[in-house]
Amino acid sequence: MNEKSHKRSIKSYVLRQGRLTKGQKNAIEELWPEYGVELQQQKLDSQQCFGRIAPLVIEIGFGMGTSLVQQALAEPNKNFIGIEVHRPGVGSCLQEISSQGLDNLKVMNCDAIQVFEQMIANNSVSRVQLYFPDPWHKKKHHKRRIVKENFVSMIYAKLTTAGIFHMATDWQPYAESMLEVMQMAKGFKNMAFPDNYMPRPDFRPITKFELRGQKLGHGVWDLMYEKQ
């Protein structure tokens, strides 16, 4: 771990491991060698990892992995890496990858910040996805929100020119906070201009969680920014 990672003490998540089902446990044990990627100090070789050259999409915090698998199925011309700290979600995603026979999706079970700092080369990612991160509702916890100036600067460095940083949240105060951070960020163009938020793009699947929220009258805010 580099010095910058070592000093980073405030996490944007709480590690709630939960109990692995037998299927999730078996998936991790049996499928990880084929679909898992270990955290390393060296830069990721995407061509070696996937056996081909293709645009790379990275999703931070894929939950149970359902929507990420749907995206990989819908966009076979892209390589996907999903990063998730919670092992039950990793196990479920591995099960889906295997059942769908996907060869363009790999998963990592670690802190996304470490992955980006240690393994992702500058100008190498075509799209970074951050869907429904923990909004940390209480004001005293806002410091834990992942969308901060330093994080956005890091994402900018990793994106290719015209690469996209796509965020989505169902918590309006967090959407407003994301917008404020991004308005201050240099080198990004809001793809919703002159509006602030985008309609949900076709490539982002709607989740069961999102559908439930819509039935309750909850809104969802998508923000998409292009690297200039």
Catalytic residue among 45, 103, 111, 134: 134
Query: What is the strand order of the sheet 159-169 is part of?
Result: 105-108, 79-83, 56-60, 125-131, 159-169, 221-227, 188-190
Tell me the torsion sign for CA atoms 157, 158, 161, 166: negative
**Taking a C-beta distance cutoff of 8 angstroms, is the pair 128, 153 a contact?**
no
Nearest in space to 35 (alpha carbons), one of 75, 72, 74: 72
Q: For residues 203 and 25, what is the distance between their CA atoms, to the nearest angstrom?
A: 30
Question: Can 134 be counted among the known catalytic residues?
Answer: yes
DSSP for 109-145 reads: -S-HHHHHHHTPPTT-EEEEEEES-----SGGGGGG-
Task: Name the residues annotated as catalytic.
Answer: 134
